[in-house]
Amino acid sequence: MRHPKPTDNVLLDARQTATLLGICPRTVWKMAAAKQLPPPVYVTPRAPRWVRAELDAAIDRMQSARNQ
């Protein structure tokens, strides 16, 4: 069983998500639309945020798919 990390519930905006992934913010939106990333959580109608734990899981899936 995985123990929660302090960063699991952190919410990241598109720019922070892009920095985490090493891509530009527009690519974050393209990857989310293509279901390569989890969809954002809208804190308010104009404030989309990504859950860090969900992004970490998506990164793990991408890495494992690449290594197979």
User: In one letter, which amino acid is 38?
Assistant: P
Residue 2 lies in a domain: no
CB 14, CB 21: distance < 8 Å: no
Q: How many helices (H) and strands (E) does the chain have?
A: 3, 3
Work out how many domains the chain is built from and give that number.
1
Q: Average pLDDT by consecutive 10-residue portion of the chain (68 residues)?
A: 69 98 98 97 97 96 89
Residue 40 lies in a domain: yes
Residue 3 lies in a domain: no
Judge if pTM exceeds 0.75: yes
Residue 50 lies in a domain: yes
> According to the model, what pLDDT value does residue 47 have?
97
> According to the model, what pLDDT value does residue 19 have?
97
Residue 52 lies in a domain: yes
> According to the model, what pLDDT value does residue 68 have?
81
> According to the model, what pLDDT value does residue 1 have?
53
Residue 4 lies in a domain: no
In terms of residue numbers, what domain contains 43? 12-67
DSSP characters over 10-33: -EE-HHHHHHHHTS-HHHHHHHHH
**Whole-number Å distance between alpha carbons of 19 and 26:** 12
